[in-house]
Chain A
């Protein structure tokens, strides 16, 4: 505090010396403000400060230390001035002047006079102000300090101006002007000009006022420029300093960065090293642990081993005891295993045997099937007389209890569909019997009478008799019930007639979209309650396109269909009606498909047999070679050997020609003399008279009748003699039927 006031006082002294009111005021204010700022919080303290200073003055007074007293008195004056107590300030400045006078310090006195002038000037007491300023000027002039004189002159001018004593003010200023110019005190110069301008303005001398105003203004702008320059240079300097600082900061930042990054790196390295160390430590610890664990394990193992050994020995003891018993049991088990193994081998053997036997049986049955197939009539037997036909034959097993039988003789076809009791092998036995019986019966009957006189029921009656007799059936309930159901047709192709007889199994005829059932008798071929009654013989007139079906019950008794039921005859008939317009071959396929569809996943219940044929009269005529219809022709066969004659006779029979026979050449010549003959078939080698001689003789009385010679292979040498004898042609034995008939026809047409 003291230092501060002292500093202020010191500055004030400098300012006083310069006698620049303007500046001093400012500086004073500055320092007072500073002081104020520093001690703002304690104005009371300032009060005490003045008291202290006054006490200090009393002390210096008592000590008679005038140098220090003067200084403190000045400070007290400033302190009061600052507080606004100007009277007290003036009083203390007066005291200081007296002290300085005693000291002979003229500088001090001069400053104090200026100070007093300033105080009076401030309080508009311009007269007193001028008075004190002039006292200061006196001293300055005595000392010849030109700078001080300038300041004093300006102060007086200002105060004179305040007194409105403009001319006096100007007087002072005009004295100050050359001094200011000389000393190059630019601010003072400006001050002088502006005050002169103001004064001339008040005096009404506007020209001079303007002149000094402009001078003041130019100095002002110069000063301002100077100020600006100073400021700019200071700014530049500051900027430069700032730049330098910034650069320094930047570089230090970088440095810091570098350092920090280095630090970081170092830290990282350290961290790494630390980690590594930790790892090493861990590893070491682990190893140690492992070692320990190993040790522990080894210990445990040893303990366990000991324990196990103990347990094992205990178990061994127990097992050993049980082993004896087990050994016994094992022995028994082993024996039973052995037995089982033996049994297994035995079973395998038996199985093998069974398989072998089965194979033998199957082979045997398969062979039997071939025999059955061979016994059944060849399909070719149908082809000639009933080309439109089918036989659907599906045995349940390899061999069948169902069988069909066909015989075609002299324009008559006998067809049978039979179902023997049982199927498989027993059924097949019965079927063989049936085939054999039917062959025998038909041959036997036709031996005695013409085939046209044959009756269908007659065949069934005899078949039943044969079965009963050969199976020794008596009718007892517990004896074999074997026998068969059968449907049998005899079709007379030429006369368009059909006979039917049935044992249980009927025949269906589809005629013009209608199905006719020809009922069978309700009794079987075999012993039965009604087996003494004859079977019924049905006779039907056939029409062109009639379709006839005979069958066993195996087809419609098949279980299956949507409801797992028997198909039943009604469904069978319905299906036949659906397909009857198709060809017979198509019908067979459709029937088979329908059956398989019905059967589905079920087993086939029974053997299946369905036979169908379409009656076609025109085909029958063709079959009988009606193109050689020689009904009214007489043909003479000259042939000594019976078998040769029969062959020719059979060949010519379908032509319905009248055939006569001559057993030698003489008979042939004789016959020709007495009868009309259209063709002569002349054998060459005959007893009594050979063919060549006979032909020569016949030509003598009948040159036109065709004579066809019969030659055997190896008789080519006879050909010349044959021609010489007058024969028209020749045939070679054994004859080819087609060529034979064609040759005859060739000569008939001539």
Chain B
């Protein structure tokens, strides 16, 4: 299968899911008017990936802003990957947040509490 690469826009994040290295990243903003139309292809792609995942999947999430609908969708993505973590393959999350953005850290912590996959919280400082 091919890697999933979607360029970022003002309202949607940059998606780079590399099947060869297992390094996934979601970077930018996620405030689409229609959350499902943006995320449905990602769900479809993940369904295929789950069937034949990399030994280690590392998902980096570095979002500066996302709306509540995106929040729920993110949780769905994490749920799907959590299923992989149960089998032979391993999944972990790198949750990037701006040093001052405790709301983003809070959301990450909230996700961590609801999931069985390990979270690493990384603060960044630039704008």
* Interface residues of A, Cβ cutoff 8 Å to B: 419, 421-422, 424, 477-478, 480-483, 485, 504, 522, 524, 526, 528-530, 553, 556-557, 559, 563-566, 568-570, 605-606
Contacts and interface: CB of A to CB of B under 8 A. Distances in A.
B103 A556 contact: yes
Contacts of B102: 568-570
A522 B68 CA distance: 12
B110 A477 contact: no
Interface in B66-97: 67-69, 72-73, 75-77, 79-80
Top-4 shortest CB links A-B = A481-B72, A477-B76, A522-B110, A421-B69
22 contacts: A419-B68, A421-B67, A421-B68, A421-B69, A422-B33, A424-B33, A477-B73, A477-B77, A478-B36, A481-B69, A483-B72, A524-B68, A529-B114, A530-B114, A556-B103, A559-B64, A563-B127, A565-B64, A568-B102, A568-B103, A570-B102, A606-B31
B65 interface: yes
B101 interface: yes
A564 B76 CA distance: 29
B43 interface: yes
A564 B98 CA distance: 13
Contacts of B98: 565
A177 B36 CA distance: 175
B37 to A, nearest CB: 11
Nearest to B64: A566
Nearest to A564: B127
Contact of B72 (A524, A570, A606): A524
A613 to B, nearest CB: 24
A529 B72 CA distance: 10
Given A570-B100, A605-B31, A478 B43 contact: yes
B127 to A, nearest CB: 5
A530 B114 CA distance: 8
Q: Which of B75, B102, B103 has the most CB of A within 10 A?
A: B103
B103 A565 contact: no
A480 B67 contact: no
Contacts of A557: 65, 103
Given A477-B79, A529-B75, A568 B68 contact: no
Interface string B39-50: 010010000000
Interface in B4-40: 31, 33, 35-36, 40
Given A528-B72, A568-B100, A568-B101, A478 B40 contact: yes
A2 B36 CA distance: 158
Nearest to A557: B65
Interface residues of B, number: 27
A480 B76 CA distance: 12
Contacts of B65: 557, 559, 566, 605
Nearest to B47: A477
Contacts of B100: 565, 568, 570
A522 B107 CA distance: 9
Nearest to B68: A421
B106 to A, nearest CB: 8
Nearest to B69: A421
B96 to A, nearest CB: 14
B68 A485 contact: yes
A565 B75 contact: no
A433 B31 CA distance: 23
Contacts of B35: 421, 481
A428 to B, nearest CB: 13
Nearest to B126: A563
B103 A504 contact: no
A559 B67 CA distance: 13
Contacts of A526: 72
Contacts of A569: 102-103
A481 B36 CA distance: 9
Nearest to B101: A568
Contacts of A424: 33
Contacts of A481: 35-36, 69, 72-73, 76
Contacts of B114: 529-530
A297 B73 CA distance: 89
Given A485-B68, A524-B72, A565-B64, A529 B79 contact: yes
A559 B64 CA distance: 10
B92 to A, nearest CB: 19
A157 B76 CA distance: 180
Given A481-B35, A566-B101, 12 more contacts: A421-B67, A422-B69, A478-B36, A478-B40, A478-B43, A504-B68, A530-B114, A559-B64, A565-B101, A566-B65, A606-B31, A606-B67
Nearest to B40: A478
Nearest to A485: B68
Contacts of A482: 69
Contacts of B79: 477, 529
A513 B72 CA distance: 36
A553 B104 CA distance: 12
A502 B33 CA distance: 25
Interface centre among B64, B67, B100, B110 (most CB of A within 10 A): B67
